[in-house]
Amino acid sequence: MTNTLPTDPVSSSKPELQRDMSLNTLKTNEQQLREEIEALRRETQELTEKDEELKHDIEKIHEKITTAED
């Protein structure tokens, strides 16, 4: 006599549901990281541009100082 247990569709689908939730969480985290990376790239670009402006301003000031000393 074979003892067979009734299969419970809820418990058998539970690992799949957990896997789907995990995949969804990973995708959400990945999207958030992509957005953060893009924001950091924009910030880096803005800071680079500001740095160039400041360097240019410093050069102008040095030129004025040099001209004033002559």
Q: Buried (b) or exposed (e) across 30-40, using 16+ Cβ within 10 A?
A: eeeeeeeeeee
Does the pTM exceed 0.85?
no
The first and second tokens of residue 27, run together, are: 């995708």
Checking if the pLDDT of 4 tops 90, the result is no
Domains of the chain, by residue range, sit at 24-70
User: Cα–Cα distance between 49 and 44 in angstroms, integer?
Assistant: 9
User: Cα–Cα distance between 32 and 57 in angstroms, integer?
Assistant: 37
Worst-scoring range by mean pLDDT, 12-16, 47-51, 59-63, 64-68? Answer: 12-16
The DSSP symbol for 10 reads H
